[in-house]
Structure 1
Amino acid sequence: MKKSKLGSRIVSWFRNVRLGYKLAIVYALSGFLPVVAVLSVTYVQMKQILLQNERDSMESYLYQALASMENKLAIYTNLNNYICYNQTISQVIGYQYDSVYEMYNQLVTILDPMLASLKYFHNDVGKVTIYVDKDMIKHGDTLAPISEIIDTNWYRSVADSGEMQWFVDKNEEIVFGVSPMSMLKRYGLDGILYISVEYDSMFETFKQTLQNNYGIVIFDEKGNAVYEKAFFDKKYREYELNAAQLLDQKKNQENEYTILSETSSATGWTACLYKPNSLIVWSVTPITRIALIAVFIMTLMSVIAMMILTSFVTKRIRRLRSGMKEVEQGNFEVNITSDSRDEIGDLVNGFDSMLLQLNTLIKEVYEGRIKEKEYEMKALQAQINPHFLYNTLSLINWKAIEADAEDISKITLALSTFYRTSLNKGKNVMSLSDELRNMRSYLDIQLMMHDYEFDVEFDVDESIGQYQSLNLMLQPLIENAIAHGIDVKTDGRGKLTITGKEDGDLIVLTVADNGVGMSDEQAARILTEESKGYGVRNVNERIKLYYGEQYSLQIESKIGQGTKASIRIPKRIS
């Protein structure tokens, strides 16, 4: 009875209220409350979307960062394999030398430059050392007895596994890979290859791409933290976690942080990425404030112009709601903008700006490129003091001039030119004009040494001088042609022919002699590990390593007619 009377009074009062107030009350009941409900649901949904999107972004970042680190490891692993399975290196180390000087000469001229080339072309490579169980004297950082590492905590693990393994010395801040050199087994030796990499360079990829206010901890297979880094703004430093705190968060499964883990298949290391949930959803707070202000303004304006405001407001809210539904369904390309400058317009544009930022972040993470590096190498050349050599040769030249010894002066100048060009200030490449000048100086020396007993013919186009060439590419071929072709010729006068031509996109260089020649089997064996000499074979290996496997040295020979060595390299402006 009482409820009926109360209802009648409310209806009676509402009938007597002016139309404007009625519209305001109707709008407050039918418009304001639903809008508040919609905004509340939107807030919860946007919070969930932000958390999920941030999680997806973190997963993508962690995957890309770990893949980039593994790509670097793959490059260093390939370098490791190149050394471990290199016939020349194994032969130089395993060979039984007749004297210490002979072994030292091979180490300096063959082994040192090949290992030094790794550090030359890969600046983040620190130490490259081969440890071998051979009675020998330590040779710098290149070769050392295995007794130096036999007491380390990683030696037995690598020796037993027979595979390359990666370790981190957090105190020294270095990352190093260790691998057995199985090729040395042929010579009855055990060997270990050690390659160290800069700590910051290895983990640099974890410092990029993702926005601030996150942390990263990397654990090895034993659960030891090998890398820790936090990227929080100064006012959010309280959210930083050390390795122990991060493990506690994961163990307790608390909801304060989003924590993702990914394990590297190459090293077994586990990277853990964490970010506070409160900072992830912080961006929703300004939107919530704007929404509340917008609701208040809409309610106030409904009293003045209910019809216009209702139509105007509900239309924009419907557009915003429609866009949110598309976002919920995974469509992040929604474009919702507003020309108005009121709070609802700010809300619409704020939502559009937020979607744009999310799209930008996702694209930056997924479209991050993994850097790759090409194999490079450094020329094999003598390690001598050029200034001392040039000064000595200059002194000899002046003494020869004073003694009126023209031949001595001429050969001294040729030798000085040869070494000045061949050393090339330690560079691996030079112009073809310099390489040809070096070759002519070397031929002048050989002609004088042989008392001009053989002829030399040049057929070289001047146009090729502008192109790039590997250092000391022709001299070993000429030396081989004289020593094994012309010098052993017993009939007729020897002749050496050097040609250089352009062939489309290639440069073709040949060194031919009319010496004794050789069989096809002998010619083929010169470029393999079965060859007793290193010069011609190293030229072939250097060409393939620098220009690619499709480029190499070709040997053609016939017994009694002579030998021709041909080089085909791509045109590159020096």
Structure 2
Amino acid sequence: MKKFIDWYYGKATIRKKLVISYLVLVLVPVFVLGNYSYHIARENLLTQTKGTIENSISSIAYNLKANIEREDDNLKYLSYNSTFRERLRTGSKNVTALVKEMNQSVEPVFWYFITSDRNIKGIEIFSPHIENAIGSFLKPEEECKGEDWYDYHQKKFNALWTFEDGNIFATRTLLDAATSSEPIGIMKLEVYPDRFVEPLSQAQFLKNGVLLMDGEQQIIGARELENAELEKEIRQRLPEITEAGQYETKDYILSASGEFENGWRLFYYVDKQEIAGDINKIFRSTVLVSAACLLIITVLISVISRILSSRILKLKQCAEKVGQGEFDVDVETGYTDEIGVVANSFGVMSRKINEMINEVYRLGMEKRATELKALQAMINPHFLYNSLSSIKWKAIRADQDEIADITGLLAKFYRTVLNEGKQITKVANELENVRSYLEIQSRTHENSFDVEYQIPDLGLDFEMPNFLLQPIVENAICHGIDYCEEGERGLIRVEYAPEEEYLYFRIYNNGPDLEEAHLKKVLNEPGKGYGIYNIQERIRMYYGEDCGVTAGVSKDGMICFTIKIKKEITGREA
């Protein structure tokens, strides 16, 4: 990413920058709007799907409940025949009357219901009051003893729906006509399973699955999903679902009905992969529209960027010519927009550069003449050294040893100060310059002060700026030693201490005490001549703000100026 940013800002042409910038500005809203549209359409589709599922399960449940209620009503109607119940109650005593009742009223009615209701497969009555079967419908109770539904009706009289071995039937207790409290038999109405649960095949949607389950969690009827693994997973979860409502996972949407009056429950479910097909259509449509918009925008951006960058490219070509030395270029356009202002300014600049080149050429010739004069002036220091040497030898021949010594010290002092015109010297040369200066001052002050040196043999080859210590030593004499009280002998101590990263020079004098404010003024304000303030500025120029000159009073009461510089010079004096 960093490489791309560097390329974009530093190497890409203006046209590429325009194209990339426009594309980014356009892609972001196109992507956001496309993504938003896709998600809204997806949510609407899921909402619509859930609504369709709810409508489908409601329709199926309604039809199933209608079938159940119709057969419940039929069962109730058939079991309320009072004449038949009276004959059945006394069947063992008066079989003839019972047979007659069966033939005249009961069986015709039963056959009517069986033939008129396509769901009814058969009707049977089991009673303890007969010993043998009578007609097509009445049978002794021995044929049903031991069945779960038989035991149920010994205690309860309401209708019971049973699913057993693939058969569906409803049973109801027959009560005596006189008291309606004594069980006299059980009526059983069996239906065709396929016809009875036929509503399960209705309202097919997205290859949905549907399942009808009784109170014993037996599956009465079902339509399975194409995904067998998902079908198995859903069926394993169904016993856990006890309330009506919709349940959604990442793989499917399931809707459960409330419990029917007979204890049955209905479940309707859809594989989300089927929904994904419609969602993918929406996604492809969104991508197609976005791609078409992007293509049109890209073409427009290319045309616009070419128009906008053409003038900049022309300006670039002129700049390249100027870079090759052709300053006679005409880039003025007469336009007043930003590019026109830059082009006009560039034309003015190129003309001025051409004029400046001519001026620089003229100044160069003058500079050569000045350098020649400076070269002639370099003879002067050598003349000074030679003159001092001649004076020294003449003094020796005249037995004027003191004059010879002072003259030799002067020659050495000026040699180290001038340093052949170089700004950088070695620590050893700088300390030698200080020694010569102090020796000269000692002679001129009639040896009125002492000098102590604490200089180790190590660290003398480090480089440092020339003429850095002498002004501080001079300050120690002029403002320190010269003001000693009468009878007190002056003392100057010169210390050099190289450490890990820094070099420390300390100049002590036993002159009068100075106030802290005065010391700060000496360090931070320029004075007359080449003072300590100038030394401070030179050190900061070479080494930075963490180096410089500090002043204070030592433990033995001497005024001390400390010079702190680095072992390595990090700058150069202008």
Compare CA radii of gyration and give the structure with the larger one.
2
TM-score, with structure 2 as normaliser: 0.46
TM-score, with structure 1 as normaliser: 0.46
Higher relative contact order (CA 8 A, sep 6+): 1
